[in-house]
């Protein structure tokens, strides 16, 4: 990700704003810690340190054995499929719910923090009908962001993975206010 930021800058773009949605929020944290002086802003949507209670059931014994076997013998194979009742899925090759054991073991999101001296614009947003995160949990994430230039927004009439163009315009408006 840091190489991508360098590449974008080498193309002549002087300001890089990172947008992360859901698990992309963890990626935005990681990138900002890796190259804090190369990021001019963050937009983090529908992510928090904790998901909704009762969101998923614990894995069965068979699922645990399968995960361990995959982790040992095929750690880069997408052997873990995520699904929950009522989940909205779109037909897009970039929208995947299959993960590798290596990916699932590499990150503890509860340990992620941004640099204490962070002083860039940050937008934290959540949708009102998010199936994974409550507005309160995303607000807790917002409260832990050290930047003095932060905003919190709740986007209406949307779900975790289906956000309307009108809601995206709130993000565009924030970018216009901060980067004209």
3-state SS of 93-130 is CCCCCEECHHHHHCCCHHHCCCCCCCCCCEEEEEECCC
Report pLDDT for 85. Answer: 67
Query: Residue ranges of the alpha helices (H) in 12-162?
Result: 23-34, 61-73, 101-105, 135-144
- Helix axes 2-10 and 23-34, enclosed angle (nearest 10): 70
Q: What is the dihedral of CA 15, 140, 95, 163, to 10 degrees?
A: -80
* pLDDT, mean of residues 41-50: 94
Cα 94 to chain centroid distance, Å, stands at 14
pLDDT digits (tens, 9 = 90+) for 71-121: 889 888 888 777 666 666 666 666 667 778 777 777 787 888 999 999 999
Is pLDDT of 152 > 90? yes
Report pLDDT for 93. Answer: 64
Q: Which residues of 141-180 are buried (b: 16+ CB within 10 A; e: fewer)?
A: bbeebebeebbbbebeebbbbebeeebeebbeebbeebee
Question: Among 4-18, 106-120, 130-144, where is mean pLDDT lowest?
Answer: 106-120
Of the ranges 1-15, 52-66, 80-94, the best mean pLDDT one:
1-15
Mean pLDDT of the chain: 88
Q: Higher pLDDT residue, 128 or 95?
A: 128
Q: Higher pLDDT residue, 76 or 19?
A: 19
Question: What pTM does this model have?
Answer: 0.83
* pLDDT, mean of residues 27-47: 95
CATH number for the region 9-51+108-179 comes to 3.40.50.1820
Give domain limits for the chain: 9-51+108-179, 61-104
């Amino acid at each position: 990700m840091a190489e991508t930021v360098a590449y974008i800058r080498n193309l002549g773009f002087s300001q890089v704003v990172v947008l992360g949605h859901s698990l992309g929020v963890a990626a935005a944290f990681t990138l900002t810690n890796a190259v804090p002086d190369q990021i001019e802003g963050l937009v983090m949507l529908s992510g928090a340190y904790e998901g909704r209670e009762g969101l998923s059931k614990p894995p069965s014994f068979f699922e645990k054995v399968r995960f361990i076997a995959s982790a040992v013998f095929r750690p880069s194979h997408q052997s873990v499929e995520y699904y929950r009742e009522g989940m909205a899925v779109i037909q897009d090759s970039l929208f995947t719910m299959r993960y590798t054991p290596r990916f699932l073991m590499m990150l503890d999101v509860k340990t992620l923090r941004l640099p204490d001296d962070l002083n860039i614009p940050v937008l934290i947003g959540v949708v009102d009908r998010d199936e994974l995160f409550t507005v309160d949990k995303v607000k807790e994430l917002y409260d832990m962001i050290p930047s003095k230039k932060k905003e919190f927004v709740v986007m209406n009439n949307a779900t975790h993975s289906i956000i309307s163009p009108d809601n995206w315009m709130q993000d565009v408006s924030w970018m216009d206010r901060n980067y004209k």
